[in-house]
Amino acid sequence: MARSPNTTVDPALDAAALLRRMGFFGLFVALPVAAQVSRRATVVLAPIAVVLLITASAIDRRQRAVQPSLRRLLTAPSFLAGLLVVFWCGLTLIWTPFPGPASERFGNLIATIVMTLLAYLALPDRMRSANLYLLPLGVGTASIVAILIGLVGDAMLKGNPNGDSALERGGVLLALLAWPAVAWLRSRRRDTESLVVAVLVAGALLTAPGSMPLFALAIGALAFALTNWRLSLGVKVTAFAAAGLLAIAPLLPFLARPIGVALFGPVAPGVLAVKAWQKLVALEPLRLITGHGLETALRGRVFGIVPANAPTTMLFEVWYELGIVGAFAIAFMLHGAIRRAGRDATALVPCAMAAFAAAFVVGCVGVGLTVGWWLTTLALTIFTFVAVERGQFRHKRPKVGLIPRLPAQG
């Protein structure tokens, strides 16, 4: 007899699974590898991958219900603080001296937030392991590519003036994505593989032209070790360090300059940058309330409003552009988000604290407040951790007796 056709095959579901696999391959493999050689890989590939994920979810509807997810977000204090930051950024467009570029930057910020929310809402309720294993594969492959470029960089980057910049941006991406990759492998009891990924990333950052990604990875490793040793202590230290430094940032130049002069001399570049920051705080203390408006820290250097040697760090730019309202809102958001992450799956918490610490260090060392590729990198890291967290489910098989129990005889 001829076999009856299989009626369980649904071409639409197969197409959705294929689109979702392509989306995760783009985010977890193609994007980290391309970021090692292209400065714009992150901002180009991420939206394409997100569109694939949204399309897949629209077909098979395996994501969580939208209304409860939005309700949870809108009742989270850290998310509300983030909305306040976005509102204040838009409000500063009224008094910024560069309304055109500031409006463009604000539009990029809104687009990144919308992309992240859509990707979050399109994420399946339960992540397949096959899709998540793409993450350590992509991070490891990107690390090998970065090592090869670092070893033969002069030959490969010859004629590419942006080669070093691409490698540094790619290194920052590796320093952040390494932690969700390690978290996923550790949650699957693959400690050897997680160590291999960490060693590959460290080797890639050792051969990279800039030291910032390696420094961020090292600070992240310290946060990981502390949290792995004592969970609550690591979460508290990470949360209070990030929020506290951001909240007291205007006091830092007054504290750091005497130390810098004693250690490096009064004409060291870092000391002069701190001196410029100190003068800006002392000359306009009232502007610490409202800030000077979005984009002024960057554009102001060109037009002489801000000294050319002023710091290019998040700590300086947040206070200079957004003032106390934006700074305190971001500090509250960071503190709440870090403490909230500390209550998730225990296996993921050490790596989550490491990622928070590494990202904060990158922002403090030399990445601006609203740089497009940096915002996209942060969004990708957050999305990746959410995906790994949704892969932490277990099936428990019910105990079924082989022989049915007979009713008791009267």
Percent of the chain with pLDDT over 90: 54
Angle at 356 between CA 354 and CA 357, to 5 degrees: 65
Q: pTM (2 decimals)?
A: 0.89
Least confident stretch, 95-109, 277-291, 389-403:
389-403
> Residues with Cβ < 8 Å from 106, sequence gap 6 or more?
89, 90, 93, 294, 370
Which of 295, 316, 327, 410 has its CA nearest to residue 85?
327
Q: Where are the alpha helices (DSSP H) in 26-162?
A: 31-34, 41-60, 66-74, 77-91, 99-122, 129-132, 134-151, 153-156
Instruction: Please spell the DSSP secondary structure of 154-192, one letter per residue.
Output: HHHSTT-TTHHHHHHHHHHHHHHHHHHHHHHHHHTT-HH
Confidence of residue 283 (pLDDT cuts 50, 70, 90): confident
Q: Which residue has the higher pLDDT, 102 or 164?
A: 102
Compute the distance between CA of residue 153 and CA of residue 60 in angstroms, rounded to an integer: 45
Residue 404 has pLDDT above 50, yes or no: no
Contact by Cβ (8 Å): 32, 139: yes
pLDDT for res 401? 44
Tell me: the pLDDT tens digits for 229-254?
999 999 999 999 999 999 999 999 99
Which of 403, 402, 237, 210 has its CA nearest to residue 335?
237
Residue 180 has pLDDT above 60, yes or no: yes
